[in-house]
Structure 1
Amino acid sequence: MSSTKHIRRIIKTTTGGRSNAPYSQAVQIDQMLYLSGAVGLDPETGKFAGDTIQDQTRQTLKNLGEVLKAAGVSYKNVVKVNVFLQDMNDFSDMNAVYTEVFSERHPARSTVQVAGLPLNAKIEIEAVAVMGDIEDQ
């Protein structure tokens, strides 16, 4: 009986945020890329990019974009997003910024309110992407 071997690649970048927590920013298994949750910390200062949901959403998406770039793909490769909000009242303001990045061919998405986020962030976003070229139908 033979077993299939899968190739795992750990993605790291300093431009997509930093953490001392025991997790990888992203893990690629074969053609799938799994991005850990990111928050709106500016990687240069280690502080939140701002106090508003718009500021934190914009920085969170920028951080995810840097991890995608380090893996050799872009936002267009994202197929699933999970958004965690500290306050569901921020939903429409978050969406306004979210559509700046995902304006067409939106990935599948879930959005939930949570009891708390790391460092008291207003938002955390995780994503799943596929490697290689994407052809839309």
Structure 2
Amino acid sequence: MIEYPSEPDTPRSHLPFSPSTKLGDLIFVSGQASVDATGKIVSDTFEGEMRRSMENMRKVVETAGSDFAHVLQTRNYVQDPADIPLFNKIYREYFSEPFPARTTITNCLGTALRYEVECIAVAKPKA
């Protein structure tokens, strides 16, 4: 059975998609951008947008019963290739070795966003 984990403070979009879906122990997190709790885009520097996006993703992953240590793969969308060195620096603050599998695409977002991230995670084992 497919689940759609959500809490009142889970970041939401006005677009037609769920923040995450869960099937068994697999968690699929939709793209998380620099948005507030209502889905309104919050423009910022690349670093500010990336950190807000990562924290939004953290909330969605935790709501689904996991954490960043159980992320299997990330897909990252970076508007400006010049931001890749900063992206790698900040990414290391959220993930450590062994790193999740990763794809990073540049020159792919419209003018409203500098960064977006999505992931696949596995639920934390029950204690």
Q: TM-score, normalised by structure 2?
A: 0.88
Instruction: Tell me if the contact between 2:11 and 2:39 (Cα under 8 Å) persists in the aligned partners.
Output: no
- SS at 1:120 equivalent: coil
Q: What RMSD in Å do the two structures reach over aligned CA positions?
A: 2.1
Equivalent residues in 2 for 1:56-75 (5 A)? 56-75=49-68
Percent identity reads 26
Count residues in correspondence. 126
* CA deviation string 1:81-137 (max 9, x = no partner): 0001111111111111111110232100000113324x711011010001233xxxx
Quote the residue 2:75 is aligned against: 82
| TM-aligned CA deviation for residue 44 of structure 1 | 6.8
Distance 1:126 1:83 in 2: 7
Q: 1:54 to 1:14 in 2, by over 3 A?
A: farther
Distance 1:40 1:130 in 2: 24
Max Rg structure: 1
Q: 1:16 to 1:56 in 2, by over 3 A?
A: farther
Quote the residue 2:117 is aligned against: 125
Structure 1 residue runs of 4+, over 6 Å off? none
Pick the aligned partner of 1:104 from 97, 101, 114.
Answer: 97
Distance 1:15 1:93 in 2: 28
Residue ranges of structure 1 left out of the alignment (5+ in a row):
1-6
Quote the residue 1:3 is aligned against: none
Q: 1:45 to 1:37 in 2, by over 3 A?
A: closer
- SS at 2:4 equivalent: strand
Further displaced range: 119-128 or 20-29: 119-128
Q: TM-score, normalised by structure 1?
A: 0.82
Quote the residue 1:26 is aligned against: 20
* CA deviation string 1:28-87 (max 9, x = no partner): 011211000010123279341x52111111111100000011111111110000001111
Instruction: Tell me if the contact between 1:75 and 1:102 (Cα under 8 Å) persists in the aligned partners.
Output: yes
Distance 1:65 1:83 in 2: 14
Residue ranges of structure 2 left out of the alignment (5+ in a row):
none
Distance 1:80 1:45 in 2: 24
